[in-house]
Chains A and B, each alone.
Chain A
């Protein structure tokens, strides 16, 4: 207990509400209101409509939604495979290699997303690998941006799991592949799904790199929101944002369910 008097506590709580309400609650609430607002010229909308939400899930916006989900799943899958691989392999590698891997996979955090996008444009607009103008440049940029979170989450998971289990399995004669598939990866499952959720959430909301590299036929939902609001269609933009948040939540719930199913199977074996 920090504040002992009743009046003192009431004062602190009032101050908390005064900071929290306008700073966190109001922005979240206002987007929900805007998504369903028909006519809005005063404090609160004069009329309500679901027209915006319908438009946000139809036509080009629907296409963008599919693009966003495909990009997020593709980029996250690549990032999870590469990040997990790097984290596990670095663990047993010599000290120098391990430090190098650590540095390389932590670096994207420090590089602005627009610069990652610019690098993609400069590197893959011509030459042996031509990605510019295809959806792969968007997916590659997203994968680069989220792989660092996959790597650090799985690394942290490795820190918490006990290496003795893998050593015991190996001492009992299990092959390296069997140890990896039956001991190490199952033990890392919580951190891998956590990394996947984080990667998907980040990728679904990514703007900076996407807006640098996206081709016309591969426009993600956040870029659509920007073009809409840029043209003054702010109400429709909020509706699309709400659709984006709901879609992200649904994908994350599905990842959670998948994790539950895998754990269930593990328990039955």
Chain B
């Protein structure tokens, strides 16, 4: 249909005319149509963000200056939160990359009966709220949770006391939730690899590990880079999982924003933390967009 429209000389003749005519009406009127949504976005998104930046320079007594910044940046809770946020995000992303690569590899190249159903389960996890995983983890790894109870029944004692409230539990929960974000572009990339290539490599005597390293990894790099940087961005901003696990010692930047903004109503302090957090994730986002445009990973099945 499309091909006949663009290729047949009869149909192609009249098409350019209206296009040129509408161009002649000038870009200005067409640019005007973008204004309503842009104004809405500016009013409900950019303006509040700008106010957050402004508020971070005004303390509770309406004094303008860097006092709030100095107080917040010097407080030990901020340093801890910053370190926790970066540490948890980096560890979770690495975990997602390793687990996601392995799972996608098996689903694509060592498929088993029911592999497609597994793929669908993974896809549904993408639509779930993240706190669901954290809630499930309290039942699995809590002090009275399934794993401890099972180990106790076997006479092993309770090996996971305190695990639920450690940063490791948050990392594990984030790996569970965000692995699909790495798997999806990887599965799309693997689907494009001709199976003959693997067969040829194997027939020339290459073992599975060599095939992975020399044939599959080069194909997977763009998807790994795009999926990995998106995951890093999302884990930096993750709030639901940390909130629901509720470990006292695991405070991240979003948790600090919540504590200052919605619990103690210290808006200026919350704004300072928010500005730092946004600067951090915007930098990463710029890197992500760069990778994304360079590799065309958007076509590989990523939404954002």
Q: Tell me whether A241 and B139 are in contact in the complex, defined as CB-CB below 8 angstroms, given that A9-B110, A97-B31, A212-B262 are known contacts.
A: no
B191 within 8 A of A: no
Shortest CB distance A153–B (Å)? 7
Instruction: With CB as the reference atom, state the residue of chain B lying closest to A153.
Output: B303
Question: Contacts A43-B146, A162-B5, A207-B129: A168 and B11 contacting too (C-beta < 8 A)?
Answer: yes
Cβ contact within 8 Å between A204 and B38: no
A15 vs B107: C-alpha distance when bound (angstroms): 12
Contact residues of A with B, CB < 8 Å?
A: 1-4, 8-9, 12-13, 15-16, 19-20, 23-28, 30-31, 33-34, 41-44, 82-83, 85-86, 89-90, 92-94, 97-98, 100-101, 104-124, 140, 143-144, 147-149, 152-153, 156, 162, 164-165, 167-168, 170-171, 198, 201-202, 204-208, 211-212, 222, 225-226, 229-230, 234, 237-238, 241, 244-245, 248
Are A222 and B131 touching (Cβ within 8 A)?
yes
Q: Name the CB-closest residue of B to A16.
A: B106
Contact of A110 among B102, B129, B233 (CB under 8 A): B233
CB-based contact B267/A121 at 8 Å = yes
A-B contacts, CB under 8 A, total: 276
- Contact partners of A92 in chain B: CB under 8 A: 22, 30, 33
B153 within 8 Å of A (CB atoms) = yes
Can you list 19 A-B contacts with CB-CB less than 8 angstroms, sorted by A residue number?
A2-B110, A12-B110, A15-B102, A19-B102, A24-B122, A24-B125, A34-B136, A101-B34, A104-B46, A111-B49, A111-B281, A112-B277, A113-B237, A114-B257, A198-B303, A205-B129, A208-B258, A229-B138, A245-B132
Contact A16 B198 (CB under 8 A): no
Contact of B121 among A8, A24, A204 (CB under 8 A): A24
B73: Cβ under 8 A from any A Cβ? no
Report yes or no: A120 in contact with B48, Cβ–Cβ below 8 A. yes
Which residue from chain A places its CB closest to the CB of B284 in the assembled complex?
A: A110
Alpha-carbon gap, A98 to B38, bound state (A): 11
Q: Which residues of B contact A206 (CB under 8 A)?
A: 129
Contact in complex: A118, B136 (CB < 8 Å): no
B37 at the interface (CB under 8 A from A): yes
Q: Are A101 and B127 in contact (CB under 8 A)?
A: no
Q: What 16 new A-B contacts, CB under 8 Å, besides A198-B127, A238-B139, A241-B135?
A: A4-B202, A9-B110, A15-B106, A16-B110, A20-B118, A26-B140, A31-B139, A43-B153, A89-B33, A112-B277, A118-B52, A118-B270, A121-B267, A153-B303, A162-B2, A234-B135
Closest B residue to A238 using CB positions: B135
Please name the residue on chain A nearest to B261 by beta carbon.
A118
In the bound complex, CA of A111 to CA of B283 (Å): 11
In the complex, which residues of chain B have a beta carbon less than 8 angstroms from the beta carbon of A201? 127
Whether A211 contacts B262 by the Cβ 8 Å rule is: yes
Given contacts A110-B285, A201-B127, contact A30 B140 (CB under 8 A): yes
Q: Contact between B37 and A82 (Cβ–Cβ < 8 Å)?
A: yes
- Chain A proximity of B284: nearest CB distance (Å): 8
What chain B residues lie within 8 Å of A119 (beta carbons)?
45, 48-49, 51-52, 274
Binds A, one of B62-70, B74-82, B218-226, B240-248: B240-248
Bound-complex Cα distance A170 to B33 (A): 18
Produce 1/0 per residue, B88-117, CB < 8 A to A: 000000000001001101100110100000
Q: How far is the CB of B100 from chain A (nearest CB, A)?
A: 10
The CA-CA distance from A105 to B40 in the complex, in Å, is 11
Q: Given A1-B195, A111-B278, does the pair A229, B135 have CB atoms closer than 8 Å?
A: yes
Whether A226 pairs with B129 at a CB distance below 8 angstroms is no
A122 in contact with B271 given A13-B110, A27-B140, A171-B17 (CB within 8 Å): yes
B198 touching A42, Cβ below 8 Å: no
Q: How far is the CA of A230 from the CA of B285 in the complex (A)?
A: 33
Q: Cβ of A2 and Cβ of B208 under 8 Å apart?
A: yes
> When the two chains form their complex, are residues B239 and A1 in contact, meaning their CB atoms are under 8 A apart?
no
Q: Which residues of the other chain, A, contact B161 by a CB distance below 8 angstroms?
A: none
Chain A residues with CB below 8 A from B22, complex form: 92, 170
Task: State A78–B147 Cα separation when bound (angstroms).
Answer: 45
B298, A156: Cβ atoms closer than 8 Å: yes
Give the interface centre of B129, B153, B271 by most chain A CB atoms within 10 Å. Answer: B129
A1 touching B199, Cβ below 8 Å: yes
Q: Which B residues are in CB contact (< 8 Å) with A89?
A: 30, 33-34, 37
